[in-house]
Structure 1
Amino acid sequence: MPPLATSPLSRRQLLQFGAIGGLTLAACAVTPAFAGPGSNPAVTVTDLGPAVTAFSHAAATRVGDTVYIASRNIAPFRIVGYHIPTGTVTSVTNGPGISTQLLVPDAEGRYLYAAIRQYNTAPGPGLIRLDLSQPGAPKQDLHDIPALDPYALAVAPDGVLFFGGREMSSDLRPRLRRYNTTTGVLDVAAIPDPKATMIRALAASENEVYIGTGSVLNALPTSSKAGLWVMDRATGAVRSILPPEFAAGIEVRDLIILDETTVCATGITPQGAAIAFIDRNDPTQYTLARLGKGGSAKNLTHADGKVYTLLGGINELDRSTGAVRNLTPQGVDLGELWGLFVRDGKIWTVSAFGLAVEIDLGTGAHVVHDVIAAGAPADAQLAMSVAASGGVVYVGGTNAVSRRELATGTTTRLFAGSEAKDIDIVNGVAYFGQYSNVGIVRHDPAVDGQWPKIVEKFPTAQNRPHQVVWDDVNQLLLLGVQSDTLGGGSLLAYDPVADVLTSAINPIDARQMVRSVATHEGVAYLGGDVTGGRGVVVAWNPVTHSELWRIDPLEDTAGVTGLAVRGHHLYVMGYRGELVVVDLRTRAVIHRSRHRDVVPNYGTLLVNRGAVYGTSSAAFFRFDPKTFARTDLTTLNGEWYGIPRSAVDEHDNFYAIRGRNLIQITVNQR
């Protein structure tokens, strides 16, 4: 790589996390925008069309000759049927919500059930089924499931549904819900562990329900770790059957019933992921098979005495010998995989890039099928990040990043697995902070084509990046990161020339993630956030990884969501819009104001030509550098799957998300 030039985007300092709003404008329309009180600058907004387009997914299953795939982060939500013999999409069924990880057929293969979180922008019954016996697989609404983010669903042989997930209600106790498909009655069958983060996996037989609890998501210091429970369907009695070896694990990730055996997959234990084969008649009798990898095994399936699972690729476990075989095709990046099943001597999985993959179990030969080309409807996703430089705009999505050339309007879909939480561009090369635990991903358009490259993995358990900024003094890429499993977070410093990554774990404290990062004159400013509230700001030396000083400036202790430095002023934005300005010479707070009317939750800050600009899901606005008064520049109603962001290029054009479209904003710089 040639010596790095100063990135024109290194000035941006961003806020975070999003909300759902919604106004999608016609592509390429130019519209006037309003300006609020203040200097009334002239503002022009140009709509550039859908920000990032793909057909990604997080659930797939096979029923007969058809693979059913549920879309993720496009509207409307869709479940498509990919017919294996013809290689075509033969059904497209619209549904509510954003996505699901749950597609489960009944024993007869007539109905396909799904549980979907009911977002405010897509209300309607979240528990649905598709009637596969009818042409087009029409949807049938079953029941509302408000206050639930569903992560587990099982259909018992008698057709009764059991499901659960992460509770969104006030008490957070994960409930095992039961739905009788004959009577239409929904009730709570059990609360296996009130301190569990969520119900993560389920399997149901005629007489029992097996319940896996725990999660890497939203765990608190008081949360239980991995749990495995069995409920007697006749009495409702629940007891633990967790093997002691799994007690240190974070979650039980998947469950299936195989004759008289319960097969349990766990992950993120000190010894790595493992599968337990538990005697259903005497759960104290079990055998363990270790997979030799970290992470969580998922999508268990079986055939001919072997068990298959997804964990860093496709794995085959021979129960008789304990041997593990990696079946992942070589020489092709499949990204995030969901769904696993065996058919006619081949194992199938579906890449979130919109690719169905079949692998011959005997020869290892593989064939990749493009589901989008077969008829799956690609559409505008919810955005996660935006960066601009050199006539190019990148927008991060789910298992896709779009690269738009402004001069021609040409957009290229990049295959970047999982979620690009933030992006920065340095000397024409884009760097993505890629969740979950993927690492730093590079896209050099001169050599990488559609396939960005992972250049560095994140440190162990540091999995959720929040912000990526370029430190032009120290020539370092800085990333603020969160640990979902341990709490706290880290600051990562990557030298692209030396290809060296250094890290500081918990630079703020053991509970606060590094939600926001700003860099100025070689100093990194770290904004803290933690579940339950707090928001400390730390001045940090990113070369020596040492603290310079810290302050606790916010009155509303809901976390720092954005930082920016203009001259000797540090701007600190809190969750729901508290703005504090700190004089870096005295470290005294010289201004405090509240802006919840335009910052309903998270947002971002950036600096351009001597002024600080703010972005939220609701609006794009500017602060006066002398009075700190806010001027509202344009409404956004941006639909984000993450933290609302904006970017500015070297021509002083801003880029943001309105609805699901990318817009260019020009502002009179006076």
Structure 2
Amino acid sequence: MTTRDLGAAVVAFTLPSGILVGDTVYMASRNIEPMKIVGYHLPTQKVTSVATGSGLTSQALGADPAGRYLYVGVDHERAGHHNLYRLDLTDPTGPIEDLAEIEGLNIIALTVSPDGQVFFCGTEKSPKVYQYDPVTRKVTDFGSPDPLATMGRAIVATESTVFYGSGSVLSGGGDASRAEVFAVDRATGAVASITPPEIAAAPVVRDLQIIGDQLAVGTQGSPTPAPFAFVDLDDYSSVTVVDTSGTSAKLFREHDDRVYFVGLTGIGVHTPSTGAVEEIKVPGIGDPVRRTELWRLDPKQSSSGFAGLAVLGRHLYAMGNKGQLFVIDRHSRAIVHTADHKSIVPDLSTLLVHRGHVYGASRTTLYRIDRKTFEITALVTGLAGKWYGIPRICVDERGRFYVLRDRNLIQVAIPHQG
């Protein structure tokens, strides 16, 4: 087996954030230097602008009510590096305008209130709520509603109140806080916890959105199915809880009297008038021609979902997002093999079939699954591939494989096995 480093490469222009402004979606890139802010015009389905940003990536985009400015929050990489800037959309190709530097803050959530004020939060010691005033060009620090949290993960604002969602990464550990929702009075700075008790077991608040006269609250990372909640903006004690079968709920959007949201395994639809929740997911194999589901199987041993699927002969190979391998007999629909390969597949992975074998790639390893014993053999280790979405693997017409090592594209020639 031989490997060849082909140099810097990107297999996917990953987009960690996006926002619709008028008829154009603006998106920020990830792990591309320098970062790009791309405008995609929906009516013409064309990229209409590309601006060079600052920083490695951005999960935090927000537009002012007039659609004039796009605000961007990024990590604070070094002294002198601004982690809040904006792009004038009258010329969306740039340049960007630096606005503020908050030392030690990695901005991961940003919103613009109806009166044009910018609020943001993120990861730092004792995460705080910040406001940027475009008129005075000053930053106000509202302090930390929950000093024991490891991150401020969600934020949304009205003309009078900032709603802030916090929690802890990987459940925090030790004394770290879990999911909390706070209301911050913009005039006085007074802080009040309005956390619905039904969501308090989750590690972190994942999303906050104002829908009509209610605040939609979604969480992520709960070990059990997590509900989301609607909090009445006029009476925080008035809460409507919506049960789901998933462990996360985010990206709430209202359309035709229904609320759509994204869960761990697909898209959910909630009808407030009836309380019904429909989850659009198909964890089985289906008939795409007839558009019908043939069967489904829930291997309940995995709570983290699946990223890798491959079919070889009568077997369906499913790689869980934490290294759990399941092999399913498609004829009997029985699980015929399970194994834990977290040392090789620490999180996400993809699979493909080539010349009668199943191959896979994680962010650390290129591997092969034996079609008889289902054992895994590590072929190339130490990849440490950068995050461009789910780890990728492909093979060309000559049988050479391609994966990422750091940011470089690696070509791997594997001797054919019968």
The two structures have a TM-score, normalised by structure 2, of 0.71
Find the partner of 1:254 among 199, 207, 211: 207
CA–CA separation in structure 2 for the residues paired with 1:247 and 1:656: 40
Maintained 8 Å contact 1:267/1:274? no
1:174 aligns with 2:131: no
2:157 alignment partner in structure 1:
204
Summarize deviations over 1:346-378 as a string: whole Å, max 9, x none: xxxxxxxxxxxxxxxxxx9xxxxxxxxxxxxxx
CA–CA separation in structure 2 for the residues paired with 1:63 and 1:328: 29
2:31 alignment partner in structure 1:
73
Give 1:317 shift. 1.2
CA–CA separation in structure 1 for the residues paired with 2:171 and 2:106: 12
1:323 alignment partner in structure 2:
276
Residues 131, 143 of structure 1: CA spacing in aligned structure 2 closer, same or farther, 3 A cutoff? same
Find the partner of 1:243 among 170, 189, 196: 196
1:299 alignment partner in structure 2:
251
2:254 partner letter:
H
- Report the 3-state secondary structure (helix = DSSP H, G, I; strand = E; otherwise coil) of the residue aligned with 1:254: strand
CA–CA separation in structure 2 for the residues paired with 1:329 and 1:108: 40
Give 1:215 shift. 3.4
Give 1:161 shift. 1.3
CA–CA separation in structure 2 for the residues paired with 1:495 and 1:49: 31
- Aligned runs of 1:427-438 on 2, under 5 Å? 436=347, 438=348
Summarize deviations over 1:538-570 as a string: whole Å, max 9, x none: xxxxxxxxxxxxxxxxxxxxxxxxxxxxxxxxx
**Structure 2: tracts of 5 or more residues without a match:** 286-290, 292-306, 309-318, 324-340, 389-401, 412-418
Summarize deviations over 1:169-199 as a string: whole Å, max 9, x none: xxx2111122111111113112000001110
1:411 alignment partner in structure 2:
none
CA–CA separation in structure 2 for the residues paired with 1:115 and 1:79: 12
Give 1:220 shift. 2.6
1:93 alignment partner in structure 2:
51
Maintained 8 Å contact 2:152/2:167? yes
Summarize deviations over 1:622-668 as a string: whole Å, max 9, x none: xxxxxxxxxxxxxxxxx9569xxxxxxxxxxxx9999844579xxxx
**How many residues are treated as equivalent by the alignment?**
350
1:133 aligns with 2:90: yes
Find the partner of 2:118 among 137, 161, 186: 161
1:64 aligns with 2:22: yes
Residues 264, 135 of structure 1: CA spacing in aligned structure 2 closer, same or farther, 3 A cutoff? closer
Find the partner of 1:106 among 60, 64, 70: 64
Find the partner of 2:182 among 207, 229, 247: 229
Summarize deviations over 1:446-504 as a string: whole Å, max 9, x none: 4799xx889xxxxxxxxxx886598xxxxxx9xxxxxxxxxxxxxxxx98645599xxx
CA–CA separation in structure 1 for the residues paired with 2:387 and 2:360: 23
Summarize deviations over 1:47-67 as a string: whole Å, max 9, x none: 623244321111112111111
2:261 partner letter:
T
CA–CA separation in structure 1 for the residues paired with 2:383 and 2:143: 40
Maintained 8 Å contact 1:96/1:123? no
- Report the 3-state secondary structure (helix = DSSP H, G, I; strand = E; otherwise coil) of the residue aligned with 1:62: strand
Residues 98, 447 of structure 1: CA spacing in aligned structure 2 closer, same or farther, 3 A cutoff? farther
Maintained 8 Å contact 2:363/2:386? no
The two structures have a TM-score, normalised by structure 1, of 0.46
Q: Larger radius of gyration, structure 1 or 2?
A: 1
1:309 aligns with 2:265: no
2:109 alignment partner in structure 1:
152
- Aligned runs of 1:578-597 on 2, under 5 Å? none
- Report the 3-state secondary structure (helix = DSSP H, G, I; strand = E; otherwise coil) of the residue aligned with 1:159: coil
Q: Which 4+ residue blocks in structure 1 deviate beyond 6 angstroms?
A: 328-332, 417-421, 655-659
CA–CA separation in structure 2 for the residues paired with 1:68 and 1:447: 43
1:487 alignment partner in structure 2:
none
Residues 445, 174 of structure 1: CA spacing in aligned structure 2 closer, same or farther, 3 A cutoff? same
- Report the 3-state secondary structure (helix = DSSP H, G, I; strand = E; otherwise coil) of the residue aligned with 1:245: helix
CA–CA separation in structure 2 for the residues paired with 1:305 and 1:147: 42
CA–CA separation in structure 2 for the residues paired with 1:657 and 1:259: 45
Maintained 8 Å contact 1:118/1:125? yes
1:181 partner letter:
P
**Structure 1: tracts of 5 or more residues without a match:** 1-7, 10-44, 333-363, 365-398, 401-416, 422-430, 455-464, 471-476, 478-493, 502-517, 520-604, 607-614, 618-638, 643-654, 665-670
Maintained 8 Å contact 1:91/1:137? no
Give 1:263 shift. 0.9
1:293 partner letter:
G
- Report the 3-state secondary structure (helix = DSSP H, G, I; strand = E; otherwise coil) of the residue aligned with 1:97: coil
1:302 partner letter:
E
- Report the 3-state secondary structure (helix = DSSP H, G, I; strand = E; otherwise coil) of the residue aligned with 1:72: coil
CA–CA separation in structure 2 for the residues paired with 1:163 and 1:113: 10
Give 1:71 shift. 0.8
CA–CA separation in structure 2 for the residues paired with 1:176 and 1:246: 21
Maintained 8 Å contact 1:208/1:233? yes
2:335 alignment partner in structure 1:
none
Maintained 8 Å contact 2:83/2:106? no
2:81 alignment partner in structure 1:
124
Give 1:111 shift. 1.5
CA–CA separation in structure 2 for the residues paired with 1:178 and 1:448: 55
CA–CA separation in structure 2 for the residues paired with 1:148 and 1:500: 44
1:190 alignment partner in structure 2:
143
Maintained 8 Å contact 2:168/2:177? no
Find the partner of 1:285 among 238, 258, 271: 238
Residues 268, 231 of structure 1: CA spacing in aligned structure 2 closer, same or farther, 3 A cutoff? same
Give 1:46 shift. 7.7
Give 1:434 shift. 5.7
- Aligned runs of 1:636-655 on 2, under 5 Å? none
1:276 aligns with 2:234: no
2:275 partner letter:
G
CA–CA separation in structure 2 for the residues paired with 1:87 and 1:418: 35
Summarize deviations over 1:121-145 as a string: whole Å, max 9, x none: x973221222223353642221123
Summarize deviations over 1:191-246 as a string: whole Å, max 9, x none: 00000111010110011011111133472321011111111111111111111111
Residues 419, 286 of structure 1: CA spacing in aligned structure 2 closer, same or farther, 3 A cutoff? closer
2:354 alignment partner in structure 1:
445
CA–CA separation in structure 2 for the residues paired with 1:134 and 1:245: 46
CA–CA separation in structure 1 for the residues paired with 2:321 and 2:38: 22
**Does 1 or 2 have the higher relative contact order (CA < 8 Å, sep 6+)?**
1
1:142 alignment partner in structure 2:
99
Give 1:616 shift. 11
Maintained 8 Å contact 1:213/1:252? yes
1:106 partner letter:
D
CA–CA separation in structure 2 for the residues paired with 1:88 and 1:224: 44
Maintained 8 Å contact 1:157/1:205? yes
CA–CA separation in structure 2 for the residues paired with 1:659 and 1:253: 29
Summarize deviations over 1:392-429 as a string: whole Å, max 9, x none: xxxxxxx99xxxxxxxxxxxxxxxx99999xxxxxxxx
